[in-house]
Amino acid sequence: MTVQLAPLPSDRYDDWFATTRARLIALRHDSGSLVGEDADAAVDQFLGEMLAQGLETPTSVILTIDDDGRRLGTVWIAANNGILFLVDLAWAVAPDEGQRDGLLAALRSFAADHRVDRISIAVFSSDAEGQAFAAGRGFEVASIQMLLEPVPHRDAAPEVTVLPMTPERFTSFAAASEAAFADDLVASGRYSPEDAAVESHRQMVQELPDGIASAGQELFVAEVDGVEVGVLWLGMRTRGGRPHAFVLDIEVGAEHRRRGYGRAMMLAAEREAVCLGAESIGLHVFGFNAAAIRLYESLGYRRLEERFLLSI
């Protein structure tokens, strides 16, 4: 049994594109990652950016997966920053474990030929085949997108008080947040220190173009008995046309950790989200942060999408 990869014939591109578009939209709907027309719009924008020149787009390669002349499916890949990204993996037939192993071997060979040393795949919670491919083959969770919907009413009395961040506090917060996010990007294995610094700065400027006065951004300090114990940053979004809050940063001060403030601040984030009209709240967490993942899941957050990384 030998799994082989070959370029998608040009006369199959239109059919592949239509099928892939429908698949990507369905994965977002079925996982709950996006709802309604949001999924269609996001996928169309994604495809337009990633395949600006169709099959001739130099940054993307679409390959067929074959086993002894039998067509098993397709894989869409892109390479960047030393990582081979599996943008989409679509099986036309249900593969067995040998065929999954064969695909990984073929991808390893492709990666070696293109001088990349890691393979990455993002898998939605509704993508059983994607999960089966990543399971048991050395992939590690690099990051997770999570959602809590609806935001529950909890009876627990507030343990921390959150107050709007002042412009004076914002200056030090922004610098520390950008540096910490860059460090996390490096720790996740997806970026070099240099690229992480660039990406962290790009995202900070994108979210906070006008600093603390940026529209849709809510920044707080968390206090206990008048002493600051952490910071909280919520970005307001929409989800299916309804207000949605996203936790962009939450940090307990180093000297205040292991006292339950992380949980208390997440509950405060939920309360603030509701006050801002949000019916749902989402967040991103790096895979190495096991304690945070346990906390979020204990509060009812569910995994929408996981990005896996394999060092080869």
- Give the long-range contacts of residues 6-15, CB within 8 A, separation 24 or more: 6/63, 6/64, 6/66, 7/61, 7/62, 7/63, 7/64, 8/55, 8/62, 8/63, 8/64, 8/74, 10/55, 13/54, 13/55, 13/62
Residue 273: name the closest of 309, 229, 220 by CA.
Answer: 220
pTM score: 0.94
User: pLDDT, tens digit, for every residue of 79-134?
Assistant: 988 899 999 999 999 999 999 999 999 999 999 999 999 999 999 999 999 999 99
User: pLDDT, tens digit, for every residue of 206-223?
Assistant: 999 999 999 999 999 999
- Give pLDDT, residue 1: 59
Phi, psi angles (nearest 5°) of residue 251: -145, 125
> Would 3-137 and 161-306 be classified into the same CATH topology?
yes
Domain edges within the chain: 3-137, 161-306
User: pLDDT, tens digit, for every residue of 185-205?
Assistant: 999 988 999 999 999 999 999
- Give pLDDT, residue 278: 98
- Give pLDDT, residue 158: 86
Identity of the residue numbered 302: R
Specify the higher pLDDT residue, 128 or 2.
128
| 280: confidence class by pLDDT, cuts 50, 70, 90 | very high
- Give pLDDT, residue 291: 96
Residue 300 neighbours by CB distance under 10 Å: 14
State what percent of residues in the chain have pLDDT above 90: 95
For domain 161-306, is the CATH number 3.40.630.30?
A: yes
User: pLDDT, tens digit, for every residue of 217-254?
Assistant: 999 999 999 999 999 999 999 999 999 999 999 999 99
Superfamily of domain 3-137, CATH level 4: Gcn5-related N-acetyltransferase (GNAT) (3.40.630.30)
Mean pLDDT calculated for residue range 294-302: 98
User: Is residue 285 over pLDDT 90?
Assistant: yes
Residue 99: name the closest of 208, 209, 1 by CA.
Answer: 1
